[in-house]
Chain A
Amino acid sequence: MNALQPDNRIACHECDLLMQRPLIEGDQVVHCPRCGSRLISSHPNSAERSLALALAGLILLIPANLFPVLTLEVLGRQQEQTIFSSAMVMYRDGLALVALTILLFAILVPLCKLLLLTYLSAALHLRARWPLLPLAMRSYQHLDQWGMLEVYLIAVLVSVVKLVDIADVHPGLGLYSLGALIAVTTLSSSQLDPDLFWHQIDELRHQPSPSEARHE
């Protein structure tokens, strides 16, 4: 049925050097001997680690978006700001596309990344043949660089410095949640082993489904 099997060797994505797949044990990073790019980032139990971190991230995402990140106080009047409101004011000022970029890069892409990672790592951990696993993995890989929470955090700090002379700025619960969320998502991308994920997705696709197995 599966006449086509991928070649057992690996090729570097930046210089196309063809190599034998090295044998790896434990947490290890392998670089291309020709161009130095990162070929393999091996993490045993990557699915379990990712599942734990993705769930933690999903939980932290809620306060990070619900509570104000900063509150500004001028002459007794207060103005609160959330990630969502910083996107919406751009829409109000007639810059819909800017609003969309903030909405995408600071809220939707991080949310989708965490949802996809939860779905993938849960499926791999439970060895469950859930639908669309390859598509979910590809989507995760393509979305990866467009999540910009850490850039947003630095932007918050720059804003504080800009405003601190003029008025009272108070950090909110949203800011602390954002900090924790970034710690979790950074850890989760460092613990992700794409090779292992693809290998396990492939295994799941080729194992007989429970109904087929019963007929045998």
Chain B
Amino acid sequence: MNSWHHSALAQGLLRCHDCTALWPLALEEQHCPRCGALLHSREPNSLVRTWALLITSALLMLPANLLPIMRVTMLSSQGDASTIMGGVIELTKHGLWGIAIVVLAASILIPVGKILALGSLLIAIQFGKATNLKQKMVMFRIVHWIGRWSMLDIFVVGILVALVQFGNLAYIVGQTGALAFAGVVVFTMLAANTLDTRLIWDRHLQEASIGSET
């Protein structure tokens, strides 16, 4: 099982990404006879595209965290620009530790963790030794599943801005940081989608079979 010969590609087969049908490799770059999707044995340019999306997300992390995501104006105060981290600190000041941790996790820990995790997978595929693969797959699955939860803060901003509309008394306005942050979420999700995990297995299995032959 743990040899290269047991991979579909080594047996001359490719799997349709959408309907899971197996076809001979000759159908590469053609449309799946069953569902019509374009067939690829491996995601085309997976590494380059994932790197591009990942670097974009990493760069967007800066404005997402430095620029305010909303501005709160209440009675006399001239308007507090609130960043993501500012919002978390505000929550802890009110003693709302549980919610503060949820927001901190969704808005900062998950995006940063995702970028680091996908980056480490890419480096492992391109340069490193492909070891502890089961562990890496678990990490990838968590990253893939959890990514959408980062939209939390964007939704919160939308809800707060829609609710707090009391003219001179109190109102909240959305700010550019929210745009950058939404970008981070969308681009990291796309990055997880374009990363083809079979590449890391290919590398691992080919290394293993070369090792066993010598």
Contact = CB atoms under 8 A, between A and B. Distances in A.
Bound together: yes
Interface of A: 2, 4, 6-7, 9-11, 13-18, 33-37, 69-70, 72, 74-75, 77, 79, 81-82, 85-90, 93-95, 97-98, 101-102, 105-106, 134-135, 137-138, 141-142, 145-146, 148, 151-152, 154-156, 158-159, 161-163, 165-166, 169, 194-195, 198, 201-202
Closest 4 A/B residue pairs (Cβ): A155-B155, A86-B158, A6-B21, A7-B22
Given A138-B37, A155-B159, A98 B154 contact: yes
B22 A9 contact: yes
Given A10-B22, A11-B15, A77-B166, A86 B34 contact: no
A151 B149 contact: yes
A85 B174 CA distance: 13
Nearest to A33: B1
Given A9-B13, A98-B174, A101-B186, 7 more contacts: A4-B33, A7-B23, A37-B141, A89-B162, A98-B154, A155-B155, A163-B160
A36 B138 contact: yes
Contacts of B96: 161-162
Contact of A16 (B15, B148, B175): B15
B154 A79 contact: no
Interface in B144-194: 148-149, 151-166, 169-170, 173-176, 178-179, 182, 185-186, 189
B35 interface: yes
Contact of A14 (B137, B176, B178): B137
Contacts of B162: 79, 81-82, 85-86, 88-89
B91 A162 contact: yes
Interface stretch (B45-53, B55-63, B195-203): B195-203
6 contacts: A89-B161, A89-B162, A93-B173, A98-B157, A101-B186, A162-B156
Interface of B: 1-2, 6-9, 11, 13, 15-24, 27, 33-37, 91, 94, 96, 99, 102-103, 133-134, 137-138, 140-141, 148-149, 151-166, 169-170, 173-176, 178-179, 182, 185-186, 189, 197-198, 201-202
A15 B20 CA distance: 13
A185 B103 CA distance: 24
Nearest to B33: A4
Contacts of B140: 14
A186 to B, nearest CB: 13
Contacts of B21: 6-7, 198
Contacts of A93: 161, 173-175
Most buried by B among A14, A37, A135, A141: A14
Contacts of A202: 34
B204 to A, nearest CB: 9
Contacts of A156: 155, 159
Nearest to B186: A101
B197 A15 contact: yes
Contacts of A101: 151, 154, 182, 185-186
B20 A13 contact: yes
A198 B201 contact: no
A89 B34 contact: no
Given A17-B7, A87-B158, A155 B152 contact: yes
A93 B151 CA distance: 19
Contacts of B9: 16
B159 A34 contact: no
Contacts of B11: 18
Contacts of A18: 6-8, 11, 13, 22
B109 to A, nearest CB: 15
